[in-house]
Amino acid sequence: MGVAQHDGAQAESQGAADRSGPIRVVVAKPGLDGHDRGAKVIARALRDAGMEVIYTGLHQTPEQIVDTAIQEDADAIGLSILSGAHNTLFAKVIALLEERDAADIKVFGGGIIPEADIAPLKAQGVAEIFTPGATTASIVEWVRANVRQSAV
């Protein structure tokens, strides 16, 4: 029994890059946006590609999203924002991850995000932005190539 406890503690102490198994992604709809079809499509595509997906549902606060990502030991957070609050909401999620020593969790997102806002979001720490027209295959491929590269 002592060995199993030691192995568990050892596994918990390893960083996300050292873990094996499927990539874990939290897909979230922050803020007041009530349109979640795109988020559900992305969640299903990631799941069908062999990833573990935790969909948080509508109207999540940045605090709830970060709490979920940490509790679920997520490798990434995918945010879907159609409300126009992307600058505020992405920044808050990034700041909370840094405050909670979880900046290794990659943040990516999509939705109705003007081209002019993409570079500033990336400068703040958002790993990638997918705009309307991005295919599910391109999103899955990006996650595989950029999130916990040693997985799957």
Task: Please determine, for residue 9, whether its predicted confidence score (pLDDT) is greater than 60.
Answer: no
Confidence of residue 10 (pLDDT cuts 50, 70, 90): very low
Q: Supply the pLDDT for residue 18.
A: 54
In a domain, 5, yes or no: no
**Is the distance from CB of 130 to CB of 138 less than 8 angstroms?**
yes
Distance from C-alpha of 68 to C-alpha of 112, rounded to nearest angstrom:
24
Pairing of strands 52-55, 128-130: unpaired
80 against 150, higher pLDDT: 80
Letter for the amino acid at 77? I
Say if residue 109's pLDDT is above 60. Answer: yes
Distance CA 21, CA 136 (A): 21
pLDDT at 82 over 70: yes
80, 113 in Cβ contact below 8 A? Answer: no
- Per the structure, the complete domain to which residue 111 belongs is given by 24-147
- pLDDT-wise least confident of 9-13, 44-48, 115-119: 9-13
pLDDT class of 114 with cuts at 50, 70, 90: very high
pLDDT at residue 146, as a whole number? 97
State the total domains in the chain: 1
Query: What φ, ψ does residue 4 adopt, rounded to 5°?
Result: -60, -40
d(CA 29, CA 82) in angstroms, rounded, equals 9
Is 84 contained in some domain? yes
Residue 91: phi, psi to the nearest 5?
-60, -40
Residue 13 lies inside a defined structural domain of this protein: no
Question: Which CATH number fits the domain that encloses residue 48?
Answer: 3.40.50.280
- Taking alpha carbons only, the member of 80, 95, 90 closest to residue 40 is 80
